Structure 1
Amino acid sequence: MTDDLAAHVAGREAWARSARGPLALVNAQVVDRPQPVWPVAGEWAPAVGGLTVTATSSDGVVVDGDPVDGTVLVAGDASVVPSTVAFRDGLAGTVHGTTLRVWDPASDAIARFARIDRFAPRPGGLVTVGRYEPWSGLEAPGHLTDAAGDPLPVAGTIATTVDGAAVRMTAVRSAPFHGRPRLQLIVQDATSALPEDDPGSSYSMGRFLYLDEQTGLDASGGSAAVTLDWELLVLPPCAFSYQYACPVPPEENRLSVAITAGERHPVDVRGAVLH
């Protein structure tokens, strides 16, 4: 394993078990009317710009550093300054649209998690070259969404050849990474169809491949040659937690070839697939 790939693997496992990683998410509840949210205190309700929470000082809810005693606005993550929310026992909250996400840095899933199992790297890796062709004025179909269930805008297509199979995949615009735009491929391949206990399998709903700084690609630009390092295929957040919605790869991104590279499954301390 190269130093760059080793750093990538270490970073991914640190992200998975971090306080805002997918294993820490214990509830993601849509708040469309006044209601309680498990496992935290307060009554939550939809509001312009986020949610409101009504609590007393004895409930131990803290918003933006101030204990709540009454009703306050919790600004969502699309706000200029999103709110920080703290609860008892180290739990925290964030608001995405009308969804309250509750994070537990000492969750059972974090305690059970051992590592992200990967395919053994091939000698020289699995790297292909391809061509990115942008589209303009198009939006992704409703089934092509991010891990939060939000539609992703189609950016264009990427054509390449993988293990002798010529493919043309739809690429979407993902959130900027380190301040730079990037493209995302949501891909299923032949390994996705195998039982999870098969050593040649990967997560059934597919995997992600991002093209960002490592390719030199500006996702807002025109047609460009791209390099696809399939060793950087990563699991979606839904592979770690049922609290995330799994994106469904478009038909053209469901490849008949087996891509035996990148991440396979999250596994627990017994070596079993986490969920």
Structure 2
Amino acid sequence: MTSLEEHVADRDRWARGPRGPLALVTAQAVEQPQPVWPVPGRWAPAPGGLSVTAEATDGVVVDGVPVDGTELVAGHTAVVPSLVAFPGGLAGSVHGTTLRVWDPASDAVARFDHIARFPADPTHVTTGRYTPVDGLEARGSVRDAAGDPLLVAGTVSAVIGGVAAHLLAVQAAVHRGTPRLQLIVQDATSALPEDDPGSSHSMGRFLFLDDPGTEAEVALDWDRLVLPPCAFSYQYACPIPPEQNRLTVPIRAGERHPVDASGAVLH
């Protein structure tokens, strides 16, 4: 595991990256042939993704080949998803029937300074007991940033702020070759900044932990609580924390908000 300092630097670098959440300017569902702002071409649903119809002068490039006619843009479930380039440095990809467009020179990227965090403290590292479950799919309200339902992996029982909690854990994507679990949590700091200057993101935060694959004690490093992508861009859907993950106690650890140089919250 990387050090906390490396983790913080990686997160700031990810946030401002050319495919980071601050660069996402459009996530348009395409249900019929239509244009999509702010890029050229006419987009339509197609088996395996979307099709784009454009002239060579439009400057649309799919998988390194300029489009002059109609081409398939393979979606995220393809063996090799398509990458799309547009004039002005914009880039795109397809998730389901949604066209996502990134602008590395977006206003949000230009304004961003860092992710505000609560002060780190060694006491923020605690433990819990992970108990896996089999074949239980998360309810429709438990979804990732793209709105897709998540698969329940088990529960993590822990004492948080003196209160016993039994947190729902969902399966997360493998990270650097390591299987992981994800906790989607709200706590008493989850509030709008104008309502509480000491708040964290109102819709909650994520904690990732290594998946032991069996019932076991797991480390909970609350200083590694991270913001969901929806904290950076309205183009993402915010996941709704499961009811048992909505804590009444504050967790004053981890990320709070993306901010500009003055400390003002970006989103």
Please tell me the residue identity of whatever aligns with 1:51.
Answer: L
Please tell me the residue identity of whatever aligns with 1:200.
Answer: G
Deviation (angstroms), 1:271: 1.3
Distance across 2 between alignment mates of 1:126 and 1:196? 26
Deviations 1:108-151 (A, max 9, x none): 100011110000112x2401111111111111110100001110
Please tell me the residue identity of whatever aligns with 1:179.
Answer: G
Residue in structure 2 matched with residue 236 of structure 1 by the alignment:
228
Residues 197, 121 of structure 1: alpha-carbon distance in 2 compared, 3 angstrom cutoff: farther
Structure 1 position 226 matched with structure 2 position 218: yes
Deviation (angstroms), 1:238: 0.2
Residue in structure 1 matched with residue 40 of structure 2 by the alignment:
41
Please tell me the residue identity of whatever aligns with 1:160.
Answer: A
Residue in structure 2 matched with residue 28 of structure 1 by the alignment:
27
Distance across 2 between alignment mates of 1:165 and 1:185? 17
Asked if the contact 1:147–1:244 (Cα under 8 Å) also holds between the matched residues in 2, the reply is yes
Q: Which runs of 5+ in 2 are unaligned?
A: none
Residue in structure 2 matched with residue 93 of structure 1 by the alignment:
92
Asked if the contact 1:233–1:263 (Cα under 8 Å) also holds between the matched residues in 2, the reply is yes
Distance across 1 between alignment mates of 2:32 and 2:134? 38
Structure 1 position 203 matched with structure 2 position 195: no
The alignment partner of 2:159 has SS state of: strand
Deviation (angstroms), 1:78: 1.1
Deviations 1:204-240 (A, max 9, x none): 000000012xxxx33xx22111010000000000000
Q: Which runs of 5+ in 1 are unaligned?
A: none
Please tell me the residue identity of whatever aligns with 1:76.
Answer: G
Distance across 2 between alignment mates of 1:22 and 1:125? 30
Residue in structure 2 matched with residue 270 of structure 1 by the alignment:
262
- Kindly report structure 1 stretches of 4+ aligned residues shifted beyond 6 Å: none
The alignment partner of 2:190 has SS state of: helix
Distance across 2 between alignment mates of 1:271 and 1:148? 28
Asked if the contact 1:42–1:59 (Cα under 8 Å) also holds between the matched residues in 2, the reply is yes
The alignment partner of 1:41 has SS state of: strand
TM-score of the pair, normalised by structure 2: 0.97
Deviation (angstroms), 1:174: 1.3
Distance across 2 between alignment mates of 1:255 and 1:210? 17
Decide which moves more: 74-83 or 173-182. Answer: 173-182
Correspondence list, 1:140-219, <5 A:
140-193=138-191, 195-196=193-194, 198-212=196-210, 217-218=211-212
Distance across 2 between alignment mates of 1:247 and 1:57? 39
Residues 197, 114 of structure 1: alpha-carbon distance in 2 compared, 3 angstrom cutoff: farther
Decide which moves more: 73-82 or 190-199. Answer: 190-199
Residue in structure 1 matched with residue 125 of structure 2 by the alignment:
127
Please tell me the residue identity of whatever aligns with 2:204.
Answer: G
The alignment partner of 1:193 has SS state of: coil
Residue in structure 2 matched with residue 139 of structure 1 by the alignment:
137
Deviations 1:237-256 (A, max 9, x none): 00000000000001100001
Correspondence list, 1:68-83, <5 A:
68-83=67-82
Distance across 2 between alignment mates of 1:118 and 1:232? 10
Please tell me the residue identity of whatever aligns with 2:114.
Answer: R
Deviation (angstroms), 1:197: 6.3
TM-score of the pair, normalised by structure 1: 0.94
Deviations 1:147-192 (A, max 9, x none): 0111001111000112211110000011111132210000000001
Asked if the contact 1:196–1:203 (Cα under 8 Å) also holds between the matched residues in 2, the reply is no
Query: What CA RMSD, in Å, does the superposition of the two structures yield over aligned residues?
Result: 1.2
Pick aligned residue for 1:249 from 241, 244, 248:
241
Asked if the contact 1:194–1:200 (Cα under 8 Å) also holds between the matched residues in 2, the reply is no
Residues 5, 196 of structure 1: alpha-carbon distance in 2 compared, 3 angstrom cutoff: farther
Aligned-pair identity (%): 69
Aligned length: 266
Deviation (angstroms), 1:194: 5.9
Please tell me the residue identity of whatever aligns with 1:235.
Answer: L
